[in-house]
Structure 1
Amino acid sequence: MRNHRTTTAAAALAAAGALLLTGCGGGSKGGDSKKIAGADSTSSASATPSASASAPADAADRPKIVMPADVKHVYEGGKTGDPVKDAVLADNAQNLEAIDTAITGDQASTESALKYYNKDKALIAAADYIKSYYVENRSFAGTTRYYHRNVTVSGESAALSYCADATQTYPKDRKTGKVDRSVPGSASDYTFFTEQLQKNDKGVWQSVNVTSGPGGTKCM
């Protein structure tokens, strides 16, 4: 019921000129589902759902993210038991919440968080993705479920793959605030993501590139 990011290098670079941060956002469902090496061979997480992201250990030094009351993320799986992999997953969750808060809440207040958790192509793509919601005068409400989150780490780089289920999100008119809960969920509401992250000098795992594609095969 909502569009998730679809990022390709060409689209991200083409968008670079105007994006950050006069507005953000962008994409459509489907698209270029390129694999990141090692993204499928990973860590495991238990099936216990977590209603919100775990706060990183250095949360006091991080941008504050306050999601609107009618928007929620559910992250399936607990900690992997590997502190590095858990840090990657925690930073990714914070980034996802920053992006959705920019779409559904106060865009200006999330600028620092978007720059904190993204750089390079991923920052451009996040900005383009958010911008599309404002251009089309739309938003959303409801719950997005993230699951099958797998991560591999090599030095200061990480590869992450995960699924997003947006069947419990609903279109929201940005001007009127009206939520259309009559729209049924469908296979197109499932998205498969692969993401590359790099650890910066502050110890934050920043997203540097993201690709996504239909999740009907891998996520249902």
Structure 2
Amino acid sequence: MNRRRPTLLAALTLTAAAALTLSACGSDDDGAAKDSDKIAGADTGSETSAAPSPSETDTAGRPKITFPSDAKNVFEYEKTGNATKDAALADSTLSVNSVDEAIFEGSTDTKALGFYNAESALSDSITYVLGYINKNHTWVGETRYFDYKVSLSGELEAYVTYCSDESKSFIKDKKTGKVKDTPTTADSYVLYHAKLAKNAQGVWQTTDIASTRGSKECQP
């Protein structure tokens, strides 16, 4: 299903993309022990998630993110054992959730959208959300995010790559209530490259993101 983040999102600079591609493969070589608990995080209603769920993000000054009952994101990754990397990973999932919440709310003025996204990632996310709003669309179902890799560049910059499986999420027309049931194809799988920066409040904001729909790296 081709429902999510098309390639309208800004591409990372060549330098940043290269840094992520080359370093992410060795991102766990710092000797830190991995947490064996897999995170199915931020999937609304999950009780086993170690990552913040949409209803649990209103702590420590962080805005609350809420999803409707018929939509869910599932994030599958293992903790690296490195607190900085794990914080960047967790906030990258909240960046995704913040964009989807804006779609559900039909507004680009949600608190979370500008809290977890900045710079070109924010402007592109606003454009993306407006695409849904202008067509009176939302989405339903479940999107799975997996195969996470993370690397750091100093103390304030991180790069995250991951895949998404959109085969179980579908576009819904808000006016008619009709759900567009499309078949699963190679385009149901998307590869993402994200750049994050830690701000003064300690939040890892997504500042740049690029996507490749139909990536063979993400297909089963």
Q: Same fold (TM over 0.5)?
A: yes
Q: Is the 8 A contact 1:146 1:163 kept in 2?
A: yes
Offset from partner CA, 1:17-58 (integer Å, 9 cap, x none): xxxxxxxxxxxxxxx9x8351343224786835152612898
| Alpha-carbon distance between aligned partners in 2 of 1:102 and 1:8, rounded to the nearest angstrom | 19
Q: Is residue 3 from structure 1 mapped to residue 1 from structure 2 by the alignment?
A: no
| Alpha-carbon distance between aligned partners in 1 of 2:144 and 2:119, rounded to the nearest angstrom | 26
Q: Indicate how the Cα distance of structure 1 residues 36 and 196 shifts in structure 2: closer, same or farther if over 3 A, else same.
A: farther
Aligned pairs (5 A) from 1:1-220? 1=1, 2-6=3-7, 7-8=9-10, 35-39=17-21, 40-41=24-25, 42-43=27-28, 48=38, 50-52=40-42, 54-55=51-52, 59-103=59-103, 105-108=104-107, 111-154=110-153, 155-180=155-180, 182-220=181-219
Q: Is the 8 A contact 1:67 1:101 kept in 2?
A: yes
TM-score normalised by structure 2 residue count: 0.80
Q: Indicate how the Cα distance of structure 1 residues 57 and 95 shifts in structure 2: closer, same or farther if over 3 A, else same.
A: closer
Residue in structure 2 matched with residue 22 of structure 1 by the alignment: none
Q: Is the 8 A contact 1:98 1:110 kept in 2?
A: no
Offset from partner CA, 1:59-95 (integer Å, 9 cap, x none): 3310100011111011112322111111011111111
Letter in 2 for 1:186: T
Q: Is the 8 A contact 2:148 2:162 kept in 1?
A: yes
- Residue 160 of structure 2 aligns to a residue whose secondary structure is strand
Letter in 2 for 1:59: T
Letter in 2 for 1:100: D
* Identity %, equivalent residues: 35
Q: Indicate how the Cα distance of structure 1 residues 4 and 47 shifts in structure 2: closer, same or farther if over 3 A, else same.
A: farther
Stretch of structure 1 that moved more, 74-83 or 154-163 = 74-83
Q: CA deviation at 1:216?
A: 3.0
- Residue 124 of structure 1 aligns to a residue whose secondary structure is helix
- Residue 212 of structure 2 aligns to a residue whose secondary structure is strand
- Residue 93 of structure 2 aligns to a residue whose secondary structure is helix
| Alpha-carbon distance between aligned partners in 1 of 2:127 and 2:214, rounded to the nearest angstrom | 21
Long gaps (5+) in structure 2: 29-33, 44-50
- Higher RCO structure (Cα 8 Å, ≥6 apart): 1
Q: Is the 8 A contact 1:116 1:206 kept in 2?
A: yes
- Residue 99 of structure 1 aligns to a residue whose secondary structure is helix
Offset from partner CA, 1:68-124 (integer Å, 9 cap, x none): 111101111232211111101111111111111111x21348621111011110000
The alignment covers a number of residue pairs equal to 196
Letter in 2 for 1:37: A
Stretch of structure 1 that moved more, 147-156 or 74-83 = 74-83
Q: Indicate how the Cα distance of structure 1 residues 52 and 217 shifts in structure 2: closer, same or farther if over 3 A, else same.
A: same
Q: Is the 8 A contact 2:114 2:122 kept in 1?
A: yes
